[in-house]
Amino acid sequence: MKRRVVITGMGVLSPVGNTVDEMWEALLAGKNGIDKITQFDASNMKVQIAGEVKNFEPEKYLDPKEFRKMDRTLIFGLVAATQAYQDSGLENVEFNKNRFGTFVTSGIGGINTIKEEAIKAYERGGDRVSPFFIPHSIINMVGGVIAIKFGAKGPNLPVVTACSAGTNAIGEAFRYIRDGYIDVAFAGGSEAPINELSIGGFASMRALNTNNDPDNASIPFDKNRSGFVVAEGCGVVVLEEYEHAKKRGAKIYCEVIGYGSTCDAFHITAPDESAEGITNAIKLALQDAKIEPEKIDYINPHGTSTPYNDRLETLGIKKALGDHAYNVNISATKSMTGHALGAVGAIEAIITAKTLQEGIITPTINLRTPDEECDLNYTVGSPVKRDVKYALSNSVGFGGQNATLVFKKFEEGK
């Protein structure tokens, strides 16, 4: 028998807030977290803006000895996991750590460490490379340092699927708990890609907006969209088997009830014009959840502000939901946070969980010029009150990755 899976803890770092409550209030207020890059001098680059985590103070959650010399991606992961663990109440409970998994990933891992050590190697010789280079740059170490800190001795499985990684991580952890392999899991993603190397790489692909106007750059579903805005951040949730959570009297944010994942098998970066991949990911997630498309009230889309993604995701939603797609509230929160690559799916899962809990839908900001091919309800400009019982969160990644999660408003015994 399949087991119920609930979210009992959440932690986040984002360009609009460094706690879940701070981020949520900023999103409701339509706060734009995109601004000029401060982490390096970008004045001579095509792209000079990003979504940076601001006023980051890891010492509020960690002993400085825990993160000394550690890559920013790993520090983000530790802080968000600490928030989520504290929020869940598990720190005050005895439970089987052998059935406690870690599914926290990244899109590109310790890119700052890679950049710094590459410079050192070529300027000073390979023998001067830090012994921490490898462990601080490999993607599995995000989950590794979290597992070490909290004694999570179950599987540590970072699902590396580019910009859908955070969503896939939560989906895979959900399956592990639902199918009885573990009882508790950290799940999510962390990303700290704001440096010359990664910004330059994405810009060379012509994937980024280059107008450097923070209020006219990340504009999902707008007719004048021209590319995404790179961001950093981390989202981590604690997933727990329902009876395990109920027994200890845990607070429950919402229930995870479905997951779908597909590959376009089409192109290394471009989505398939048929939108078959995202359509099928949504359909599979709904089938997994055993609900009809007409049940969906809200979608947090991938919505990157690129010409292809927004048009084809809209098409995929319409193909999967039919005419009901026009009854759904959609809010593209990347309009405020930018695109945190492998972390953003987890950040948006947290936003979706809060939407279910609070019955308020965050807006899409800076959508000024409608696109005839993006013709759904994107909740433009202001938050909307709505009793949301079922919600989707979509993510898409390079390599043709598509992932969808289905969330349900928590109801005792149902």
Closest by CA position to 189, among listed 54, 34, 67, 76: 76
What count of residues does the chain have? Answer: 414
Q: How far apart are CA 343 and CA 186, in angstroms?
A: 14
Q: How far apart are CA 89 and CA 93, in angstroms?
A: 7
Q: How far apart are CA 12 and CA 56, in angstroms?
A: 12
Q: 319: buried, middle or exposed (CB in 10 Å: 19+, 13-18, 0-12)?
A: middle
Can 302 be counted among the known catalytic residues?
Answer: yes
Can 234 be counted among the known catalytic residues?
Answer: no
Q: Which long-range contacts (CB under 8 A, 24 or more apart) does 244-247 make?
A: 244/95, 244/183, 244/184, 245/6, 245/8
Q: How far apart are CA 19 and CA 8, in angstroms?
A: 15
Give the torsion through C-alpha atoms of 351, 54, 398, 77, to 10 deg. -80
Q: How far apart are CA 271 and CA 302, in angstroms?
A: 13
Query: Of 244, 254, 302, 374, which residue is the catalytic one?
Result: 302
Measured at the alpha carbon of residue 364, what is the angle toward residues 406 and 392, in degrees to the nearest 5?
Answer: 5
Exposure b/e, 343-374, CB count within 10 A at least 16 = b: bbbbbbbbbbbbbbbeeebbbbbbbeeebeeb
Q: How far apart are CA 345 and CA 164, in angstroms?
A: 6
**Two tokens, residue 395:** 């993510």
**Two tokens, residue 150:** 């909290």
Query: Of 136, 244, 254, 339, which residue is the catalytic one?
Result: 339
Q: Where do the H-state alpha helices sit in 187-306?
A: 196-204, 242-247, 276-289
Rounded to whole angstroms, the maximal C-alpha distance in the chain is 63
Query: Of 163, 234, 254, 374, which residue is the catalytic one?
Result: 163
**Two tokens, residue 85:** 């663990």
What is the set of active-site residues? 163, 302, 339
